[in-house]
Amino acid sequence: MKTNYTSDNIQVLEGLTAVRKRPGMYIGTTDLTGLHHCVFEVVDNSIDEAMAGYCDFIKVLIKKNNIISIEDNGRGIPIDKHEKFKVPAAEIVLTKLHAGGKFEKNSYKISGGLHGVGVSCVNALAEWMDVTIKRDGHIHRMFLERGKVVKPLKTTGSTSETGTLIEYKADAEIFDTLNYSFDALSTRLRELAFLNKGITIEIRDQRDKEEKFHIFKFDGGIISFIEHLNKKKKALHDKPIYINKVRDEITVEIAMEYNETYSDILYSYVNNINTIEGGSHVSGFKSALARVFNKYIKLFELNKKSKVALAADDTREGLTAVVSVKMPDPQFDGQTKTKLGSSFIAGIIRSIVEEELGRYFETHINTGKVIIQKAMQAAEARAAARKARELTRRKTALNNDALPGKLADCSRQDPEGTEIYIVEGDSAGGSAKQGRDRSFQAILSLWGKMLNVEKTRLNKVIENEKLRPVIAALGAGVHKDFKVEKLRYNKIIIMADADVDGSHIRTLLLTFFFRHMREMIERGHVYLAMPPLYKIWHNKKTHYAFTDGERDKILSEHFQDVEPAIQRYKGLGEMSPHQLWETTMNPETRNIIRVTADDFVEADEMFSILMGDDVKPRKEFIYKYAKDVTNLDI
């Protein structure tokens, strides 16, 4: 049925109505990421006060019922009446898009919230918001609901303090979840404390009986950040390389340190905003590294031993770096500001890094040689890895079989709705193959303990007979070649025995995924199967228990009058195909755990502790947490 298209069909969304109608246009998503984005928009206002020199303390509370409270000791939002709108300036800031002090250069020369929609968007997407402003000797309060003023700004008392307190509850009508992640919020607040040395940022989670909290303050700034990131790694030089230069009103601050590992960590920021997709500042930094390294290979006469040309990736093996740029009016790609688009920044960064890193190599010759030689070894390993990939492709072409022999594939071609179980042991793999639903479940059997990739370069990873089948079955490449959109399955489920050996297998696989297929974890594709520890039955009455506690509960609730048989599973291979399906593989009855890493800094540290070369921190970890272990088999 055709309809007329006239002026009556044109809808004008005024004020904050547009934000509530299309929240994704303003905060990216309405899932947990968008929920956290709102917190950071408010915090960014406090950080802007800190960068302007008026604030040195920020407190974030996650209260009961997922209420957020953010307080600072800045100047406080202005409360005098706006000349044009005839209402207090605070009301304008909270209720109108593209309003604030960040467009007027005398207020904030450097600011993160440059689109001017931050706190007003949060207000629009909040069920309610309570605002307290301390300035000019008085306390002022205002209350809003879903973007609209309910109780106008009113003076409620006197004070000698200054600052702003914003308390709000996100609207359940807008967001998919209101359950904040303490770890995810802490990660960002820790970053902000590193990026703004001397400021104190406190976060407290008051939702549970036992309060969780962090207090972040780093007088060393991003040097402290590097030391934190590398504290469980062996550095190649005594202290981080530090660059701090101002050019054309742009402050460039870089801290970097090389360590003995084979992976790299690079965090980039513009006006404190984490540019997770990089941009021109990251491009400039990477190209500068390549230029400097290739220059000093010749000057140090290191190219006599190896003729392999360095690629940009080689110069970052074992590098931990933070690149922070503070500049007026940056141009970002997208509303959520995850990629810097200001192209001229690349040249500025490249020039500064070439000058300063070159100066460092000339004054620290021995250290410079060690760092460059590591890059040269990385280049040789990269060449070996390329040959290994080519050899694998040739073998595949000759065999006309692109998938590993241990893989029992599913019949569905579309990755959506499919899953692959990576199973420890041939016997368990056999039971899984017989018990699965072949339409959407694939099984890949592994045998023995695989390579610890934390101690290994990429070429050894690609050549490893235990890991090659995993790479081939997932079909998305590995390391820099990994493309998450090419995954052949939507869920990757690790299924190992519920004992110490099984835990080791899981940790080895997770280390491999984290180091060489990290986006797979970031996108939520990786899961852990939860096989039962006990089968409890009497006559035709059968129960499965996944912990000792569950076993005791089942016994007390269902078998008070009889003595049931109890089987303690020593491994997956003891279970029949039917039992494995019912307990561990049937989507209707199974328990699986999605692997997430809200705090990738802490996750990186954990893998370094558990799987790295240094024994001392691993012993310290075991001594610290051994007392908390109640069942070593789980």
Indicate which residues carry an active-site annotation.
424, 497, 499, 501
Mode of pairing for the β-strands spanning 57-63 and 67-72: antiparallel
Residue entry with tokens 């460039």: 252
Helices (H), 1-78: 17-21, 24-27, 32-51
- 3 state SS for 516-560: HCHHHHHCCCEEEECCCCEEEEECCEEEEECCHHHHHHHHHHHCC
Please give the single-letter amino acid code of residue 34: G
Residue type at 407? L
Name, in order, each residue with C-beta under 8 angstroms of 186's C-beta and a sequence gap of 6 or more: 203, 214, 599
* Alpha-carbon gap, residue 324 to 265, rounded angstroms: 14
Residue 255 C-beta-side C-alpha neighbours within 13 Å: 18
Whole-number Cα distances in Å, 515 to 313, 482, 518, 522, 543 = 15, 11, 6, 12, 39
Question: What is the spatial distance between Cα 375 and Cα 367, in angstroms, rounded to a whole number?
Answer: 13
End-to-end CA distance of the chain: 61
Residue with tokens 């209350």: 143
Q: Which pair of tokens denotes residue 49?
A: 């006060």
CA distance 270 to 89: 28
Cα dihedral 114, 119, 122, 128 in deg (nearest 10) = -170
List residues bridging with 252 in a β-sheet: 245, 325
